[in-house]
Amino acid sequence: MKEEIVARNNVTVVGSGKKTLMLAHGFGCDQQVWQHLIPHLKEHYTLVLFDYVGSGKSQISAFSEPRYRTLEGYARDVNEICQALDLNQVHFVGHSVSSTIGLLASIEHPERFASHLMICPSPCFLDLPPDYYGGFERADLEELLDLMDRNYIGWADYLAPLVMGPESAELLIGELSDSFCSTDPVVAKIFAKATFFADYRHVLPKAAHPAVILQSERDTLAHPRVGRYMHANMPGSTLRVLASEGHCLHMTQPELIAQEIDAWLRY
């Protein structure tokens, strides 16, 4: 069973530190997005990296639409990896939607986890006035998914600079676009719907572990007001608004994110 899970999710373990960090990539990406952060962490921590089913070098044959049409299916991936590797006291480093996935996983199996480090998280990307503004109208997101159907490469090229931030290096934008393109288009659309049309605000009060929210000062996908909302509704949370731009701080500001991780894990 262990070998099957490791192969299914292309699990990689780096380092041998006493504290275990599970690095979970966001929508449309794979574990390669952590390559800029790993050198800053591998000497001090054990790092567990993986690809969600349908992403990167995971086993596409394991993909099931009924399972992965909601984020709970991806949370099952996380818990099954933890079980297969017998992981405990995991510090879950989730980017974007993976912050929600990690929260769902920890609520289901709290004994496996120690804390959450959330990089540019959002529990809901939709504007739901008057109480919540996630950043997008439903019609805008539906148009983005329609572009996926009509021109997948064009969709990736459009979304990558939007996600990274306009001041990001062309190399990093290219890396993210390539990551988008490496994901099966059918799988990507199902994951996109699970990510952008869901509302997981109700799980925030159920958080059973301390969490730090690393919020970018300027982020097209997750406005600082989203970070403030999460902090206000999630017990045991700390909000850190960083003087940075873009949605992928682990790629654009790896040294800063490593410093924040080190500071958090000293508690």
CA separation, residue 61 to residues 73, 143, 184 (Å): 15, 29, 11
Residue 174 backbone dihedrals phi, psi, to 5 degrees: -65, -40
Q: What is the pLDDT of residue 256?
A: 96
Query: What is the value of pTM for the model shown?
Result: 0.92
Structural domains of the chain, ranges and CATH numbers in brackets:
2-264 (3.40.50.1820)
Q: Do residues 53 and 68 touch, judged by C-beta distance below 8 A?
A: yes
Please identify every residue annotated as catalytic.
96, 219, 247
Cβ-in-10-Å burial (0-12, 13-18, 19+) of 56 comes to buried
What is the pLDDT, as a whole number, of residue 174? Answer: 65
Q: What is the pLDDT along the chain (267 residues), one digit of tens a residue?
A: 789 999 999 999 999 899 999 999 998 889 999 999 999 999 999 999 999 998 889 999 999 999 999 999 999 999 999 999 999 999 999 999 999 999 999 999 999 999 999 999 999 999 999 989 999 899 988 988 888 777 766 666 766 776 666 666 566 666 666 666 566 778 888 998 999 999 999 999 999 999 999 999 998 889 999 999 999 999 999 999 999 988 889 988 999 999 999 999 984
Our measurement of the distance from residue 182's CA atom to the centroid of its chain's CA atoms, rounded to an integer in Å, reads: 17
